Amino acid sequence: MKTLYPFVISTLVVTFVGCNPSPKATDTSKETTEVTKKIITLTDFKKIKGVDNIQDVPFQLFTKLDSVHFFMAPSKDADHLKVAKNKLDNYYGFEEFDDFYAIHFSIDNNISNSIEAFVLKSEFTASFDLTLEGKDLYEIRSSLLKKTQDFKNKSFRKFGTIAEVSAQEFKTASKNRIDEVLVKNPKVKLKDGNWVYTENGKETTIVQHENVHTEDGMLSNEYIGQSPTLNLEIFKEESPEVYDMYYSFYTIKPEVNFRTFTGGYPQIIPGKNWISYVNSNNDVGSDFTINKYAEQVSDQENLLYINFTNFKIADHKKAFWADNDTFYAEVFPTNSAPAKGKNQKTAYIKIQLKPNLF
């Protein structure tokens, strides 16, 4: 019997202690923590040198919201401020974090009063992530139909339809393009700094290759190819001092003569003598031009010109005609731009002209 007492007592003690809650645990459960956020203004953010050259900006940010949040650090727990969006505000992105972008922002558009802030990715779209979604592709700034210029009409619906299409549709349609594929004439070669046409041992200089002096600066000519339909040789004129690029057309026989030019890579439709091209407009959006080449006067008759506002041309060499009324092009949203390690998002459009438009 004596050997059982210690066991019974021990059991009773353990049971007794287990039935009494710990005062310390009770006190802890009643404790609450209050975090008081600091009230901040734009003047509390880090002051920085403002952006005076947009070329130095890695990427821009865009938002559709009426107001956004500026954080003092790239953390959702950091002090932050709700800021109303002003129509003229620019959000210059400089660094990317998991959920944030670091931006440089000029208060009241005053470059000398600029700050660094951190904004939520969920509230912005970076320039390299922009798409055509929600964009009005029909919006135009001006147009020209034959000899009638129009600055009042702001819609392409007067001339036809336009829509974004898939990359697959673009690729499939390109296999049946009807415009000429420019192929280099083997008789045109670069010799002694000039583009020279050689036939039966006779050499004829067409145009100088590089270091051509013009009123706009130094110019270079690159041979592109021949148009069998127009019987013209085509060269790309380019200058490092001028943004614009031109394509010049030359006859070879009976003598070398400059005939006409385009403001972008030409699409030539056999049988119609149409020369079209698309290029990015220096001011807004992109240009779509269709002319008719008149051999007798070595000139082009204006058929259609459209200045679209909501997209730029990605690669004008890839544009093509699927039939006489259907045109395809590879584009980017107007404000789209690449960044280090980031490519722009390419889109594809189809333009369908109204039958017998001109």
What residues does each domain of the chain span?
42-129, 140-353
Residue pLDDT tens, the chain, 358 long: 334 333 333 333 333 334 344 444 444 433 433 445 678 999 999 999 999 999 899 999 999 999 999 999 999 999 999 999 998 999 999 999 999 999 999 999 999 999 999 999 999 999 999 999 999 999 999 999 999 999 999 999 999 999 999 999 999 999 999 999 999 999 999 999 999 999 999 999 999 888 777 776 778 999 999 999 999 999 999 887 767 789 999 999 889 999 999 999 999 999 899 999 999 998 999 999 999 998 776 678 999 999 999 999 999 999 999 999 999 999 999 999 999 999 999 999 999 999 999 8
Q: Which class does domain 42-129 fall in?
A: mainly beta
202-217 exposure pattern, b = at least 16 Cβ within 10 A, e = fewer: eebebbebeeeeeeee
Side-chain half-sphere CA neighbours of 156 within 13 A:
23
Interatomic CA distance for residues 315 and 312, integer angstroms? 9
| Count of H-run helices and E-run strands, the chain | 3, 27
> What local confidence, expressed as pLDDT, does residue 142 receive?
97
> What local confidence, expressed as pLDDT, does residue 300 receive?
87
Interatomic CA distance for residues 231 and 226, integer angstroms? 7
Q: Is the peptide bond before 254 cis (omega within 30 degrees of 0)?
A: yes
User: Phi/psi at 72 (nearest 5 deg)?
Assistant: -85, -10
> What local confidence, expressed as pLDDT, does residue 37 receive?
63
26 DSSP 8-state letter? H
- In Å, how far are 29, 32, 357 from 26, measured between CA atoms? 5, 13, 85
